[in-house]
C-alpha cells in the first residue's frame, strides 16, 4: 500500500519514521530509481506485559537521477542529553542527509 502511494506521488525525496523493513523497501524502491539510507534503532521495552527489544528506525530515500549523497549525519539524542538521559523515555535519534542536485 505505501509503495503504491510512493509510485503515485512521484516524490523525489521520501522520509520514513518508525521504519523497520529495510530489505523490503530497498527491493521495492530501487527499481523505481531510489537509493535508500537507513538507520535502525534498538529500543528496550519494559511496559506492562511487553518486554524485549523493538527494532525500528529512520530512512530517507531519494531519486538517484536527481541527487547524489554528499553526507549523512546520524544524531543520537541520548549522547546530547549530557547525563540527563533519564529525561528521554526511549532512545531518540535523527538522521540528516545532505543531497547535491545533479545538473542536467
pLDDT digits over 57-84, tens only?
A: 788 999 999 999 999 888 877 666 666 6
The whole-number average pLDDT for the span 17-29 is 83
**Domains of the chain: total:** 1
Determine contact, residues 95/74, Cβ cutoff 8 Å: yes
pLDDT at 39: 76
CA distances from 3 to 6, 14, 33, 34 (A): 5, 11, 13, 12
What is the residue range of 17's domain? 2-101
pTM: 0.74
CA gap 15, 41 in Å, rounded: 16
Amino acid at each position: 500500500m505505501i509503495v503504491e502511494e510512493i509510485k503515485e506521488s512521484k516524490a523525489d525525496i521520501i522520509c520514513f519514521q518508525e521504519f523497520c523493513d529495510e530489505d523490503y523497501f530497498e527491493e521495492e524502491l530501487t527499481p523505481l530509481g531510489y537509493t535508500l539510507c537507513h538507520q535502525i534503532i534498538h529500543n528496550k521495552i519494559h511496559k506492562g506485559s511487553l518486554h524485549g527489544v523493538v527494532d525500528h528506525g529512520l530512512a530517507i530515500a531519494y531519486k538517484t537521477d536527481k541527487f547524489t549523497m554528499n553526507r549523512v549525519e546520524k544524531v543520537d539524542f541520548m549522547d546530547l542529553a549530557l547525563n540527563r538521559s533519564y529525561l528521554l523515555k526511549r532512545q531518540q535519534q535523527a538522521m540528516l542527509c545532505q543531497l547535491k542536485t545533479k545538473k542536467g
